[in-house]
Amino acid sequence: MIFTLIDIALLTFMGATAFAILRLRSLFAVVMLSGIYSLLAASMFVALDAVDVAFTEAAVGAGISTVLMIAVLALTGEREKTPAHTPLLPLLVVILTGAALVYGTFDMPAFGDANAPVHLHVAPRYLHDSFAEVGLPNVVTSVLASYRGYDTLGEVTVIFTAGVAVMLLLGGRKGDDAGIKQQPVDEDGDDRRADSKDLDGSGGAA
C-alpha cells in the first residue's frame, strides 16, 4: 500500500516536472528542472528496487548532465524563441503515437507480477547460480561484468568514442574551421590555450 502511494506520488511529480520543462521558455529553468527530473527518476528507481540504476541516474542525470548543459547555456544564450509554425501536426502525431502505445500496454503483464514472462527465463538462473559461479552478492555487478562482459566492453567503447568525438568537435581553437592547414598540430592532443578562461565569466548561470 505504502509502496503504491510512493509510486503514484513520484510518477505524478515526474509527469508534472516534464510538463513544466515542455512549457517553460527560460532554458536555465529548463536545465534546472531536468536535474530535478533526474533526481525524481532516481528516487523512483530506488522504489523499484534498482539501486544501482538509481545511483547512476543521481550521479549522471542530476550531476554531470546539468553541469554540461549550464556550460553550454553560457556559450549559447538562455532564452528560447517561440517557434513560428503551429504545433498542430506534432500534437496530432504525438497523440496518435501515445494512443497506439497505450493500446499496446493492455497486452502487457500486470506491474510487479512475479509470473511475468521476463522473470521466468534467464533471470532465475542469474539469481540462483551467480553466487556459486562468480561469488559476488551483487547480482547486477556479476551480470554486468562477467555474464555480459562483452556487452559492457561495447558500452565502454561507446563512451570512449563519444569522448573522442567531443574532443574532435571542441578540441581545436574557435574559428579554425576556415583553414584546416592553419590548425596547430599538437602532439599531446590537448588544447593548450593561452587565455583559457574559467567559469567566472559565465555570469549568473554557474
Partner 1 sequence: MLQAILDHFNYWIAIFLMMIGFYTVVARGNLVKKLVGLNIFQTSVFLLYISMGKVIGGTAPILDDRFQIYSNPIPHVLILTAIVVGVATTALGLGLIVRIRESYGTIEEDELDLADGET
Partner 2 sequence: MRHHRVLRIVSKLLIPFIVLFALYVQFHGDFGPGGGFQAGVIFASAFILYGLIFGLENARKVAPPAVVTRLVAAGVLIFAGTGYAGLFGGGNFLDYGALRADPVAGQHLGIMVIEFGVGTTVAATMITIFFLFAGRER
**According to CB under 8 A, which residues from 54 to 93 bind partner 1?**
56-57, 60-61, 64-65, 68-69, 72-73, 75-77, 80-81, 83-85, 87, 90-91, 93
Is residue 27 a contact residue for partner 1 (CB under 8 A)?
yes
- One of 29, 59, 96, 123 touching partner 2 (CB under 8 A): 59
Contact between 205 and partner 2 per CB under 8 A = no
Residue 61 interacting entry, from partner 1, partner 2, none, C-beta within 5 to 8 Å by type: partner 1
Binding string to partner 1 for residues 138 to 167, with x set by CB under 8 A, is what?
A: xxx--xx---x--xx--x--xx--xx-xx-
Q: Minimum Å distance from CB 195 to partner 1?
A: 17
User: According to the binding rule CB under 8 A, does residue 206 interact with partner 1?
Assistant: no
Residue in this structure with the C-alpha cell 556479476, named with its chain if needed: 142
- Angstrom distance (rounded) from CA 156 to CA 176: 30
Our CA angle for 198, 203, 204, nearest 5°, is 125
CA-closest candidate to residue 21, choices 64, 56, 60, 61: 61
Please answer whether residues 14 and 44 qualify as being in contact, where contact means their C-beta atoms are separated by less than 8 angstroms: yes
Q: Which residues contact 202 (CB under 8 A, 6 or more apart)?
A: 70, 71, 74
